[in-house]
């Protein structure tokens, strides 16, 4: 065998090995993939929640602590479902260190210090203060059928409160129990 034949055979050998190696890496890549179909069934909620769109509080004076007129929320279920309700403050802010007391917003857009703002809370007359931080683990108005739950808004007006119109916005949500 001449040296040129030897070189050609040697090149052909390594070229063949290169092709085999690249095919095996393609095969390995193909073996590493998978297709998975994921299915889920979504069931329409069986309960609806209704509450008044607004609740007017009694007139307030500096230094007042007031239990305002109660209002009702309704849970209407088309079939028995173990549900409860939780509350979330979305207009206003929680008072520092509290999950149940909100600082009401001034409707004129001003932002007085916390110590000069009207405080607001909700109470379930049967079970006490309602948590307003949206924690789904702190619920009220539990049951399995349609029901009406009464809530009492409370306000506390500091003696140095800024005068004006105030507001808080609370969102009520249904929690389905397992």
Whichever domain contains 157, its CATH number is 2.60.40.1090
| 90 within domain boundaries | yes
| 28 within domain boundaries | no
Q: Comparing C-alpha atoms, which of 116, 123, 118, 71 is closest to residue 100?
A: 123
Angle at alpha carbon of residue 151, lines to 81 and 155, rounded to 5°: 150
| 27 within domain boundaries | no
| 52 within domain boundaries | yes
What does the pLDDT read at residue 172?
Answer: 96
| 157 within domain boundaries | yes
| 20 within domain boundaries | no
Domain extent, residue 55, equals: 47-176
Contact status, residue 149 vs residue 170, Cβ threshold 8 Å: no
Contact status, residue 66 vs residue 58, Cβ threshold 8 Å: yes
Total domains in the fold of the chain: 1
CA gap 60, 164 in Å, rounded: 10
| 59 within domain boundaries | yes
What does the pLDDT read at residue 12?
Answer: 47
Taking only the tens of pLDDT, the chain with its 178 residues reads 554 454 445 454 444 444 455 554 454 555 678 888 898 887 767 899 999 999 999 999 999 999 999 999 999 999 998 999 999 999 889 998 899 999 888 888 888 888 889 999 999 998 899 999 999 889 999 999 999 999 999 999 999 999 999 999 999 999 998 7
Helix (H, G, I), strand (E, B) or coil at 167: strand
């Amino acid at each position: 065998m001449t040296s040129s034949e030897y070189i050609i055979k040697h090149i052909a050998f390594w070229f063949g090995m290169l092709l085999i190696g690249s095919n095996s890496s393609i095969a390995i890549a193909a073996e590493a993939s998978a297709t998975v179909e994921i299915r889920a069934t979504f069931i329409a909620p069986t309960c609806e929640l209704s509450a008044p769109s607004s609740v007017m509080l009694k007139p307030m004076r500096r230094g007042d602590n007031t239990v305002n007129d109660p209002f009702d929320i309704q849970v209407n279920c088309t079939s028995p479902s173990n549900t409860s309700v939780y509350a979330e403050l979305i207009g206003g802010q929680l008072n520092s260190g509290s999950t149940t007391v909100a600082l009401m917003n001034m409707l004129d857009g001003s932002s007085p210090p916390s110590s000069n703002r009207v405080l607001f809370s909700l109470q379930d007359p049967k079970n006490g203060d309602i948590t307003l931080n949206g924690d789904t683990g702190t619920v009220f108005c539990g049951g399995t059928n349609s029901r009406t739950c009464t809530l009492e808004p409370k306000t506390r007006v500091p003696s140095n409160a800024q005068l004006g119109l105030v507001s808080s916005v609370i969102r009520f949500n249904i929690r389905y129990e397992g």
